[in-house]
Copies of this chain bind each other. A is one copy, B any other.
Amino acid sequence: MARKNAFYAQSGGVTAVINASAAGVIEAARENKKHIGKVYAGRNGIIGALLEELIDTSKESKATVAALKHTPGGAFGSCRFKLKDLDSSRREYERLIEVFKAHDIGYFFYNGGGDSADTCLKVSQLSEKMGYPIQAIHVPKTVDNDLPITDVSPGFGSVAKYTAICAKEAGLDVASMCATSTKVFVMEVMGRHAGWIAAAAGLAQEQAGDPPHIILFPEIAFNREKFLKKVQQTVKKNGYCVVVVSEGARDKDGVFLADAGSVDAFGHKQLGGVAPVLAQMVKDELGYKYHWAVADYLQRSARHIASAVDVAQAYAVGRAAVEMAVAGKNAVMPAIIRGKGKKYSWTIEEAPLSKVANVEKKMPRSFISSDGFSITQAGRDYLAPLIEGEDYPPYKNGIPQYARPKLEAVPKKLKGKFVL
């Protein structure tokens, strides 16, 4: 194949390590100049392609690209924008082809989760179905850890580490105050559909009695009585109770606890926040003084305490995507495969996108204890290696020094404006 330019885009919610994947793609592409010309990044993801807003990553210095490895957020901008199938979104796909053609793009690297894998699969079919020759490779990313085949989704390991550390640290705080003050601490973490992130907090528990004492998963229907009883038992036994709750915790009818909660002064339903709902429930029913935290974006942007394993894997899938492209592959995703044996090891293998798109990996029920409030040894065995190692960013004046890419625009070549 003749030398072609590459398009790279970040998609969906960003992570602490998605830029490490970007660095992997860009660095590997620079080492494969025979096949790949320039890497153009979409400004704000796939929207950048549709609007012909491309960023010329060749203008970024070697140091800046290297610094992406320790920079959270999505350096080129991401978006929540889903392309439908080739027929329903024909106008968009035709526009993509128009832009790709104008900029001589023959490689499409899409860095995202499940929805993006689906889009990437559609793009991979453009050659066959719409006659434009392109190779599309999906670069896995999502804190939700719900991509199939790959043992873990890059981004998850770091949020898992953050959650475990926070549970441990806040637990020590509450333990010291519980004699006369806060007895129950509720920490809300991400996970609308699955409890992977909440489960990771369980790693903070290194000895019996350690926090977190209760984990609430979306997978286990919330039972008010059982929960309150467990809180009370825990406070009676340990003096305090640390609860980690998935934002997606719900009751047996599937109603999110966060929605069951409060209305504002105007009678509007208050959006979000399962932690305050649970804290208030504990106060009302058991009378315990509480505190609560909602980590929200802090958890997925906490590059300052990223998992070294996660950073290495995010970078590696970026590089592997380019290597697969250069090897002529299409419609594939580099997947992380866990080695057998006690000592954790991993390799990267090729997964067909057709088996990735629209398949959601669930957390096995065997990872959750029978009472539904903690993780099992099997869960622990899976999660523990993913948070291994600390990959600290460089600091100056006490502040992490994150990359500041130039984000130089590629001059537009097309006339006419595309309306999203």
Residues of A in contact with B (beta carbons under 8 Å apart): 10, 13-14, 16, 44-45, 47, 71-81, 161, 164-166, 168-177, 179-182, 185, 187, 203-204, 206-207, 260-266, 268, 270-273, 275-277, 279-280, 283-284, 291-298, 300-305, 307, 384, 387-390, 392, 395, 397-400, 402, 404
Contacts and interface: CB of A to CB of B under 8 A. Distances in A.
The 10 closest A-B pairs by CB, nearest first: A73-B172, A74-B176, A387-B398, A44-B179, A293-B296, A169-B301, A173-B301, A262-B264, A79-B180, A170-B297
9 contacts: A14-B177, A72-B169, A172-B301, A271-B279, A275-B294, A295-B298, A384-B398, A387-B397, A388-B398
A83 B311 CA distance: 51
Given A72-B172, A74-B176, A176-B10, A398 B164 contact: yes
B173 A300 contact: yes
Max count, chain B CB within 10 A of own CB: residue among A389, A397, A402: A397
B390 A395 contact: yes
A236 B185 CA distance: 38
Number of chain copies forming the complex: 2
Given A45-B179, A185-B297, A203-B398, 16 more contacts: A73-B174, A76-B176, A77-B179, A78-B177, A79-B180, A164-B399, A165-B400, A168-B400, A172-B402, A261-B265, A262-B265, A273-B276, A293-B298, A384-B398, A389-B398, A390-B398
Highest count of chain B CB atoms <10 Å: which of A73, A173, A203: A173
B400 A384 contact: no
A377 to B, nearest CB: 14
B387 A14 contact: no
Contact of A181 (B80, B166, B187, B260): B80
Contacts of A277: 264
Given A73-B176, A180-B81, A398-B384, A292 B296 contact: yes
B10 A302 contact: no
Given A14-B177, A294-B292, A272 B276 contact: yes
Contact of A71 (B47, B172, B206): B172
